[in-house]
A and B are shown apart, each in its own frame.
Chain A
Amino acid sequence: MKTKTRSLSKTTRSNLITYGMVVAAYIIVEIFLRAGMVSSLLEGLLVPLCMYVILAVSLNLTVGISGELSLGHAGFMCVGAFTSAFFSRCMETAIPVSGIRFFLAILIGTVCAALFGILIGIPVLRLKGDYLAIVTLAFGEIIKNVVNVVYLGRDSRGFHVSTKDSISLGLEQGGDVIIKGPQGITGTPNDSTFLIGVILILVTLFIVMNLINSRTGRAVMAIRDNRIAAESVGINVTKYKLLAFSVSAALAGTAGVLYAHNLSTLQAQPKNFGYNMSITILVFVVLGGIGNIRGSVIAAVVLTLLPELLRSLNDYRMLIYAVILIATMIFTSSPGGQEIQERIKLFFKHRKTKEA
């Protein structure tokens, strides 16, 4: 038995704690749900929570492990959301079993987002630092704006696409406009559930944490730490950077699928798929600790719940949220804040030793 525990490496143990945390959270929430002790607000927040966790973990792969500041994460989420919602809307009658349909939707959303990740990654990853951040920001906005001009309808003759308006689609009587430009897609089946969300979180964690601890992950981190040194030992820089970037994009697409199938309307607005969202996700990652996967999970959950729990403060809600955010950032990362943390740790240590 002793040898077994010793054989578990430090990282494996840390990973198991992260999985355990998610599973425990799921079991606790599920028990409370069965007992009917969860408020409707929290019940409605469960799927968005899963979505934000996936987004934060996937962005951490780009920002923390690969060391590239990407501000276009919401763009990939948008791709995943729209492709999967489009698929579900088209196949609603053809595949009546929601489980199979949603599984296919997740696959399609993820794959499409990954393709976009590769497409965008090829030109973008030639840049570094601030330049990369700005270009990814621009690409995120481009994706959002392109989605906003697409009109796509279906009738007995097949699909029709236009970039002008839904009248110019020239649909037959009984034709169905599926993507209505800025009005997006309405009537997506609500297939997202908490269970699927949690499974997707576990899959995401599995992919990201295994990637980090693999040969590939070490190569990616070597590039992050010293590009020239990495190149000199024969690591293919472009390949590994692109790999990390597209895996991150694919997982963002998965989150987009969850998002699209949680609401019956899907519109690409600055609020949900613009840079606002990208920055919100970045905040989760930074606050949770760059490169720290478990931190991202916790930060995403706390920061999503916070503005909702502050609803009783009415007008001051967003103000307090912002103040808490600033305060937490200072507390966790400024030298002064870290000193306070040290003191608190010391204080508890003293007490422990005294008690002992």
Chain B
Amino acid sequence: MKKALSLLLVGAMTLSLAACGGNGDSASTDSAAEESTTTEETEAADSEGGEAFKIGGIGPITGGTAIYGTAVQNGIQIAVDEINAAGGINGYQIDYNFQDDEGDSEKAINAYNTLKDWGMQVLVGAVTSAPCIAVAEETRNDNMFQITPSGTAVECVQYPNALRMCFSDPTQGTESAKYIGENGMATKVAVIYDSSDVYSTGIYEAFAAEAANQPFEVVSVEAFTADSKTDFSVQVQKSKEAGADLLFMPFYYTEASLVLAECDKQGYEPTFFGCDGMDGILGVENFDVALAEGLTFLAPFVAKSEDEMVQNFVTKYEEAYGETPNQFAADAYDSVYVVKAAIEAAGATPDMSVSDLCDAMMGAMSSVTYDGVTGKSITWTDGEPNKAPLVVQVSGGEYTEL
């Protein structure tokens, strides 16, 4: 027993020593860091005379929001592999390194600093809103080009060096309210939202503001939090009592599947309307797909789309990771191509300083019009993408574009 214990100890110590040693090297000098990054992501070739664009990614790959971070990590990887295989950007290859932030602002700063030590020139991240806001403060100080695939909060792109690929929370809320109003989908609307979630609250607030201008009435607003997202009987009951004929659900599909099941149990059949977080509801385990029939939501991306680029991306993703990509992966994939477009438009080279590169790319962004998997002819104003959301409806157990 004692021997086993001491062996374990020795093992742990050696490992930690090895790890510390490895990191010490990479921190000491930039050139050494290039060789000692043992991360699997950085397999990209630095064949072209050793010069490469260094793109960093930050997102949660452990913890409660790990599915989003992993999707982004994979989405970036596919885009980077594609670009490198096709000859890189302006003839230069891409080096890619993704760091974990555990969905936490403090850890996100550590991840950012790690990437800076590695020599990052362009940041694709962070994935979730709060870490993204924290990192944005740092990128502004360093004047580094930042594009967040999925940071939806308004403050994520408050500085001129940052862009986003997804819709902002207010855009989604406003667009949803407009769509419901313009198509006369309802007269009385009930809302259930997650008050502990930035994303959900942001959409709800914009929805409520826009609802005042629309020909329907919000009759019931019920909130839940991350701690109470398993039982929705009260919220559904209240919506039913208020006589709402449309239920607006600005949150993610896991909770939505529970709400739908609860509505079915209580015999309540309103029209269901969601946001882009609904993408993926048909894949929830033990969920009766028939319940989602008629669910309408706004989304930037539909994996079933017949668009050639989307199909190419979806096939590659499925081959590599064995699952259908969600909107996070798609936004991440597009983000890398936007970086490519900006660098090409600016005619930039990897030997430029981070700040010069950012200025050049931001200067060029005004002329960039981008076609990707999450939208066509996208342009940017003040960091916000101008793209129209797709309206998706579930019918016959499939997502169909309306």
Contacts and interface: CB of A to CB of B under 8 A. Distances in A.
Given A39-B27, A330-B5, A148 B225 contact: yes
Contact of A182 (B2, B105, B155, B196): B196
A42 B104 contact: no
B284 interface: no
B99 A263 contact: no
Contact of A331 (B9, B28, B117, B198): B9
A310 interface: yes
Interface stretch (A127-135, A218-226, A267-275): A267-275
A37 B204 CA distance: 48
Nearest to B202: A183
Contacts of A330: 5, 9
A170 to B, nearest CB: 13
B99 A311 contact: yes
A327 B13 CA distance: 9
B269 interface: no
A33 to B, nearest CB: 14
Interface residues of B, number: 60
Contacts of B19: 309-310, 312-313, 320
Contacts of A182: 195-198, 201, 225
Q: Is the interface of A mostly helix, strand, loop or mixed?
A: helix
A234 to B, nearest CB: 46
Contacts of B326: none
Interface string B7-19: 0110011011001
Contacts, number: 139
Interface string A302-344: 0000101111111101101001100100110000110110000
Contacts of B208: 165, 167
Nearest to A166: B205
B320 interface: no
A152 to B, nearest CB: 15
B397 interface: no
B209 A167 contact: yes
Given A312-B23, A317-B100, A330-B5, A40 B12 contact: no
B105 A327 contact: no
A337 B6 CA distance: 8
Most chain A CB atoms below 10 A, which of B15, B38, B136, B209: B15
A127 B268 CA distance: 48
Contacts of A271: 63, 102-104
A181 interface: yes
A148 B226 CA distance: 11
A183 B203 CA distance: 13
Interface residues of A, number: 54
Contact of B6 (A165, A265, A340): A340
Interface string B129-147: 0100110110000000000
A312 B16 contact: no
A48 B106 contact: yes
A43 B141 CA distance: 14
Contact of B133 (A265, A318, A327, A340): A265
Contacts of A263: 105-106, 109, 134, 137
B105 A267 contact: yes
B197 A336 contact: no
A143 to B, nearest CB: 14
Nearest to A51: B106
B1 interface: yes
Most chain B CB atoms below 10 A, which of A265, A269, A271, A306: A265
A327 B8 contact: yes
A309 B113 CA distance: 12
Interface in A249-264: 259, 262-264
Given A182-B201, A312-B26, A336-B5, A45 B110 contact: yes
A124 to B, nearest CB: 22
A265 B134 contact: yes
Contacts of B133: 186, 264-265
A162 interface: no
B62 interface: yes
B323 interface: no
B39 interface: yes
B35 interface: no
A49 B130 CA distance: 21
Contacts of A308: 110, 114
Nearest to B198: A183
B116 interface: yes
B105 A265 contact: yes
A41 B5 contact: no
Nearest to B110: A308
Contacts of B61: 315
A193 B198 CA distance: 29
B399 interface: no
A183 B130 CA distance: 8
A149 interface: yes
Given A165-B201, A313-B19, A337-B5, 11 more contacts: A42-B27, A165-B208, A182-B198, A269-B104, A270-B226, A306-B16, A308-B110, A312-B36, A315-B61, A324-B16, A340-B6
13 contacts: A37-B28, A39-B117, A41-B113, A263-B109, A264-B136, A264-B137, A265-B105, A267-B105, A271-B104, A308-B110, A312-B19, A320-B16, A331-B9
Name the 8 nearest CB pairs between A and B, nearest first: A39-B27, A44-B113, A40-B113, A264-B137, A41-B113, A40-B116, A265-B133, A39-B117
